Amino acid sequence: MSQHKFPALKTIAWVFRILAWIVALLTVVFFVVFLFTDSLGFQYEGGVKAAVGFGILLAGALYVLLLYAAAEGILVILAIEENTRKAAEK
């Protein structure tokens, strides 16, 4: 039996993975734009601007990590369910 019992959960896991990659890309883009342009209207001195930029990078990285961990957690639960079902059939 190769069909998954919970296809919506597998889809949600893939959506979380895709969102994690999108957030990662947007974080890097916003980090570069923030550090190397003054067109956003922010008035920071050099060291403060770098600290805020790396704070943006850190916050984005943590958000990516949480999204990816949620996706992997769903997949682990699905694998446990599948293995339990296979063990019960034997």
Residue 1: predicted pLDDT: 44
- Angle (CA) 78-27-56 rounded to 5° is 110
Helix axes 7-36 and 46-89, enclosed angle (nearest 10)? 170
Predicted pLDDT at 26: 96
In this predicted structure, what is the pLDDT of residue 46? 63
Domain ranges of the chain: 16-89
Beta-sheet strands, E only, within 1-90: none
In this predicted structure, which of 9-13, 66-70, 73-77, 86-90 has the lowest mean pLDDT? Answer: 86-90
pLDDT tens, residue by residue, 13-64: 999 999 999 999 999 999 988 877 775 566 666 677 778 889 999 999 999 9
